[in-house]
Amino acid sequence: MSDTGGVERDDNTGKFVKRAAQRIHDLNTPDDEHVHPMAKILFGWTEMKGIGTIIFWGSLLIAAMLIFVDVFVHRHEYFNFANSTGFYGFWGFGAFTFVVLMGWPLGRLLRRDEDYYGDAGGPPADIDPDLSIDLEARK
C-alpha cells in the first residue's frame, strides 16, 4: 500500500521507530553478560514492566495514609493554619514546586549567550585579526 520509509516496530515496546534508532538502542543497551551481578541485584527491579505505575500508585497510597494519620496528630502550633490537616505536605509540595519553577528564570539570568566564546571555527573575538596575521608571518 504505502512505503513506511524504513520505520519498524520496536522489539521491546512495540512503538514505531526507525531502523537506525533501533540499532543505536541495541548498541547502547548492554546485554546480561556486560552487566555486573551486583548491579542486577540492586537495580534489576527497575526493568520490571509497569514499575513506573507501581511506584506512582505506591507513593500516592503512602501520601494518602500520611494525611489520614495527620488527622489524629495533635499539634500546638503558633499559627492556626499550621494545625490544618496535611499542612506540612502541601507546604512541602508548594516549596518544592516553587524551587523547581524558579530554576527557569534563574537559568535565563545566569546562562551565557550561545556565542559567548565567539565563532567556533574562527579566531577568538578578543584577538585583533591583523595581529594574528603578523604573528603567523613571523614564524
Per-residue pLDDT of 56-114, as tens digits, reads 999 999 988 988 888 887 777 788 778 787 888 889 999 999 999 999 999 889 888 77
- DSSP secondary structure string for all residues of 54-100: HHHHHHHHHHHHHHHHHTT-----SSGGGGSTTHHHHHHHHHHHHHH
Q: Is the pLDDT of residue 47 over 70?
A: yes
Question: Which one-letter DSSP state was computed for residue 9?
Answer: E
Sign of CA dihedral 23, 28, 29, 34: positive
User: pLDDT value at position 97?
Assistant: 96
CB-CB contact of 82 with 75 (8 Å): yes
pTM: 0.46
Pick the more confident residue, 88 or 49.
49
Pick the more confident residue, 119 or 138.
119
Segments making up each domain of the chain, as ranges: 74-139
Pick the more confident residue, 18 or 46.
46
Q: Could you give the angle at the alpha carbon of 16 between the alpha carbons of 10 and 20, nearest 5°?
A: 70
